[in-house]
Amino acid sequence: MLARRIVDVLMTVLLLLLMSLQITEQEGHEYIGMVMVLVVIIHQYLNRKWFSTILKGRYGIVRVLSLAVNISLIVAFTLSAVSGMMIAETFTFLNIESLTEWARSTHLASSYWSFVLMGVHAGMHWGMVAGRIKAKWPGVLGVGMSGYGLYRFIAAKITDYLLLNTQFAFIDYDLPALPVLINNTAMLSFFVLLGYEMSRIAAGIASKRRESIMRPVMILACACAVSLVLVMWMGMPEEEW
């Protein structure tokens, strides 16, 4: 359906912008966030039939994995949206002073979890998308970009945000817009690759075909190897994001 494709592309663009606070700054970030909430609601409406099938049919490993990712993403995005509105400077209708500290830490963690899970979610549906547009992926370029994305993810210490080891994100506002978008796109591409290959591994386990498991495992290993080579060659960049 054309509407679904448009919404999916729009969500991807908005996600990359939301993770690029250096470009949008605070006010733009909040307006984009509100648009993102609206687009996600439209996405849920267009895919409303999925909710009616949750309690129907049998659950194999692929379906369990997909359900776990989808539910986790819904929870993460909901927390990100609500906590974001609570600390917003432009939209003040949900501001509750006593909950500001909770909202800030929750927004930081849930935003990055949403970023990671949206990538995985998109990757798990990539086979269907690729079939429609007759695209071959990941390929050497895709693996290389994903490996670079993993390198940037590690260098940015995003796991500290995911695990709430820190309550403040370092934002370097001196970074040019293009490198920021490239880095964010690369990081997202790694999680798209992860989701895509995870779904193939799960399908291989379900079908008990070793060759269906080994190929995606090797592709993920290659992406990780690219990241390791970059760490050994370039070291960790000084800026975190």
pTM above 0.85, yes or no: yes
Measured CA to CA, the distance from residue 67 to residue 230 in angstroms comes to 34
Measured CA to CA, the distance from residue 207 to residue 213 in angstroms comes to 10
Q: Identify which of 137, 114, 115, 118 has the alpha carbon closest to the alpha carbon of residue 197.
A: 137
pLDDT over threshold 80, residue 128: no
Q: Could you report the per-residue pLDDT of 36-87, keeping only the tens digit for each?
A: 999 999 999 999 999 989 988 889 898 999 999 999 999 999 999 999 998 8
Residue 241's pLDDT band (cuts 50, 70, 90): very low
- Cβ atoms of residues 146 and 193 within 8 Å: yes
Residues whose CB is less than 8 angstroms from the CB of residue 109 and which lie 6 or more positions away in sequence, other chains included: 161, 162, 163, 164
For the chain, give the number of residues.
Answer: 241
> What is the reported pLDDT for 227?
94
For the segment 19-38, the average pLDDT, to the nearest whole number, is: 93
Which stretch of DSSP H or E encloses residue 123? Answer: helix 100-124
Q: Could you report the per-residue pLDDT of 209-218, keeping only the tens digit for each?
A: 777 789 899 9
